[in-house]
Structure 1
């Protein structure tokens, strides 16, 4: 499976309006949301630089600091490897705190209790680092692919590219629960990057412009955000921009940030 390496066949060239500090966009523009899925509206509040060499897999904010994790796809595609580290939100400059060996394809990450958890795609291996120095504490294993990772304050929440989401104990990595993501049409596949926001799981759906709002108790998709306009803008600005991927929530001020793999910008959005 050429996951995250082959660019989407939906790639189109479009000219979108530029986004700056005063620009706002609505999720209702250019949408094609399936009937029965509530459409959520948003406004673009701001845009910041993002490193176009970064094949973004995970994005989070912890104690006011932006963190990112990346993967390392086909060497023929320019990228800067599989790493986890801090990012200066105003400049997009990343500080690679820990880099994985080439045999590991880095994926999602999350931070809980001053520990950063970083998973891999098919190695079935995860890594735990102590903040702030990113000293590796331990490794852990799991029995599925690793795609997205977040937490609800007590459990690690992981996706594997199917419609399943797994809940693990962060200390023992004991499996606590599995939910299946479904909408009015049935199972929803390709659940990718995750972020826990105000009691709900928000998930990128791989190779689509959508972020899904998921009830963590039932797995039901209760809302959908359509970022077609920002996908088109990213690809118009940088033709090698790949899929939408990356959601970060700053719980101290309610700000939400999104980006994509090799995107030139990180966007701050406000849900309406």
Structure 2
């Protein structure tokens, strides 16, 4: 009986050794964070240096060239942001996929801007501003909160609301933009937006968000509709199909910039309010790199001289630009003033 037990244990031990020797454990070795324009080496490693038959490498699902168990990634071709790295490993009678990520930062620090107030105009303090746009001499504005969301045409000098419609009470209105005589208006969490006639404010159609989960800010570049969703991503929509076709990730040389809210395209750059930070981020739409940051915290303090603001709620939100006269306007949620400001580079 003891002899039989010995042989069973011995053969179990041999089986365990053999089984363990067949187990392959892979890792992808590379820098986890890189600066744009760096070339990053990626190597597939097996824990015990067991041989493999073949390795195929992929970045964001697209195969790239490799030599043996290694490859080199040119971050310039990726752009800033997080990117998936994958290796498909072929080894005796098996295949396995290993995944990893690399985060690419901008290769330059953003320019910091201060500001000066050029003019002040009255603004409806009951307007929970979500979208703002200057068009043909008037301000167009959307406001938020369920049961309070409106689309407005406003006289800029007096703040008088000249035309207004209410959004269905079940929706929380967000940003808007005017494109080819149509108004495009987002909702927050309903995953849909609406299209209106510019002159009559009559709703003509609606559209669904096909990739992003929420709607925050909206603008356009004359070709694409450009949308923020509260993350560090900005989406580009086809104005014919209203589908989100591509996105950029917004990064400085240190980190991703999330909570991107109201948007405005100014001189080829995307200006975005950073929610609850009372700041404007200036973004290169081709790369996602943050070219500049305007600190407008003292503008909030200026407002608080005449109006008590609810902390973390009645914050800066709303950017409009008069291209013809080079005027930049900003306001905030429930602010009683609209400011014309000029951004000034800090020395």
TM-score range, shorter chain: 0.7 to 0.9
Deviation of 1:214 (Å): 0.3
2:263 maps to: 194
1:127 maps to: 194
The residue matched to 1:225 in structure 2 has which SS? strand
Q: How many residues align?
A: 232
1:47-105 Cα shifts (integer Å, max 9, x gaps): 001111100000001112111000025x8xxxxx1011101111212245321111100
- Which of the numbers 192, 203, 213 marks the counterpart of 1:136? 203
Over 3 Å off, 4+ runs: none
RMSD: 1.5
Asked if residue 171 in structure 1 is aligned to residue 240 in structure 2, the reply is yes
Q: Pick the structure with more helix per residue.
A: 2
Asked if residue 45 in structure 1 is aligned to residue 124 in structure 2, the reply is no
The farther-off stretch of 243-252 and 135-144 is 135-144
Deviation of 1:130 (Å): 1.1
Alpha-carbon distance in 2 for matches of 1:88, 1:63: 11
Alpha-carbon distance in 2 for matches of 1:161, 1:193: 10
Alpha-carbon distance in 1 for matches of 2:144, 2:199: 22
The within-5 A match list for 1:146-185 is: 146-185=215-254
The residue matched to 2:304 in structure 1 has which SS? helix
2:183 maps to: 116
Deviation of 1:42 (Å): 2.7
1:129-174 Cα shifts (integer Å, max 9, x gaps): 1121112111111042000000001110000000000000112112
The answer as to whether partners of 1:83 and 1:96 remain within 8 angstroms in 2 is no
- Which of the numbers 247, 250, 255 marks the counterpart of 2:327? 255
The within-5 A match list for 1:13-162 is: 36-72=109-145, 81-143=148-210, 144-162=213-231
The farther-off stretch of 211-220 and 89-98 is 89-98
Which structure has more relative contact order (CA 8 Å, sep 6+)? It is: 1
Alpha-carbon distance in 1 for matches of 2:195, 2:126: 24
TM-score normalised by L of structure 2: 0.65
Alpha-carbon distance in 2 for matches of 1:238, 1:102: 28
Alpha-carbon distance in 1 for matches of 2:169, 2:317: 22
Asked if residue 271 in structure 1 is aligned to residue 271 in structure 2, the reply is no
2:318 maps to: 246
Q: Which entry has the higher C-alpha Rg, 1 or 2?
A: 2
Alpha-carbon distance in 1 for matches of 2:130, 2:276: 13
Alpha-carbon distance in 2 for matches of 1:229, 1:191: 20
Alpha-carbon distance in 2 for matches of 1:234, 1:49: 12
The answer as to whether partners of 2:209 and 2:243 remain within 8 angstroms in 1 is no
2:49 maps to: none
The answer as to whether partners of 1:248 and 1:257 remain within 8 angstroms in 2 is yes
Deviation of 1:269 (Å): 1.1
Alpha-carbon distance in 1 for matches of 2:243, 2:170: 25
Alpha-carbon distance in 2 for matches of 1:57, 1:181: 21
TM-score normalised by L of structure 1: 0.82
